[in-house]
Amino acid sequence: MRPKTSDGLSVKGVAAVAGVSPRTVRFYHSAGVLPEPPRDASGYRRYGGKEVVELVRIVRLRSLGMSLPQIAQRVAGDEAAEVSLTEALGSLADELDAEIDRLVASRDRLRELARSETFDQPDKALTQALQDQGVLGPADNLRSGEKWAVAVLDALHPEGMPGVLAQASRLLGDPAVRAALGPLRRRVAKLNARSTDAEIHALATEVAALLRDSIDGRVDVALVDVLLTDRLRPTQQRFLHELRTLLQEESR
């Protein structure tokens, strides 16, 4: 017989809520990032609202590429407030509804863009702008992954590619930034299975420093990360997760 909500969730139930396996939950316990909840009279762990919130936070931090030691340091001493399981599940459902709405709107915009006869114009506009500023040579073109990134930015920015270019004008107007963009672009393209965490972090830090003053919240960086993931190599995914984390930390 399944336990009532007021009795708490089993490890299988809480894992399903967080979108991980029961084995992962147990691993977080053994790693010391997720305290074990009280057990019932039969010796089974029962997870309440507080434990649900803690687990979901850990899973989200892991999705950003944060290591377990970093997560342990971040959550140490940050006790989640006591909350009923019903309230915790309802709050998580509301967050998912909001995320679904954002994803559906972006999906519809991307499909509209894909159907448009001018689908290839955003990358042409950016290519021309980068060539005008000397970041790209006259015969250079954007790479396949970069073209998809341009399409995503054009879809997500309220003003499309013209808005992206207007926002980027602060970057392209700085000679030092223009000189740095080409080498950074080549370094991102060269990321491969041999790239170390230290190299990826250093590169993400340099790129974040360039973008710091040009990110004004008009483009959802987290959503860009989600939409680009399947277009990037694993090391480039790690770079983008790291960059996303740095930009979000700086925006707080």
Each residue's pLDDT expressed in tens, for the chain with a length of 252 residues: 344 444 678 899 889 888 899 999 999 999 888 988 888 888 888 888 888 888 888 888 887 677 788 788 777 655 555 656 677 667 777 777 887 888 888 788 777 766 654 445 788 888 888 888 888 888 888 887 788 788 777 777 777 787 788 877 877 788 888 888 888 888 888 888 899 999 999 999 988 888 775 655 556 666 676 667 667 788 888 888 888 888 777 655
User: For residue 200, is it within any domain?
Assistant: yes
- Find the domain containing 77 and state its range: 5-91
**C-alpha to C-alpha distance for 77 and 184, rounded to whole angstroms:** 38
One domain, residues 62 and 134 = no
Distance of CA 60 to CAs 40, 199, 241, Å? 28, 23, 12
Paired tokens of 159? 């003003």
The 8-class DSSP code of residue 217 comes to S
Paired tokens of 44? 């089974």
One domain, residues 81 and 160 = no
User: For residue 233, is it within any domain?
Assistant: yes
User: For residue 43, is it within any domain?
Assistant: yes
pTM of the model: 0.47
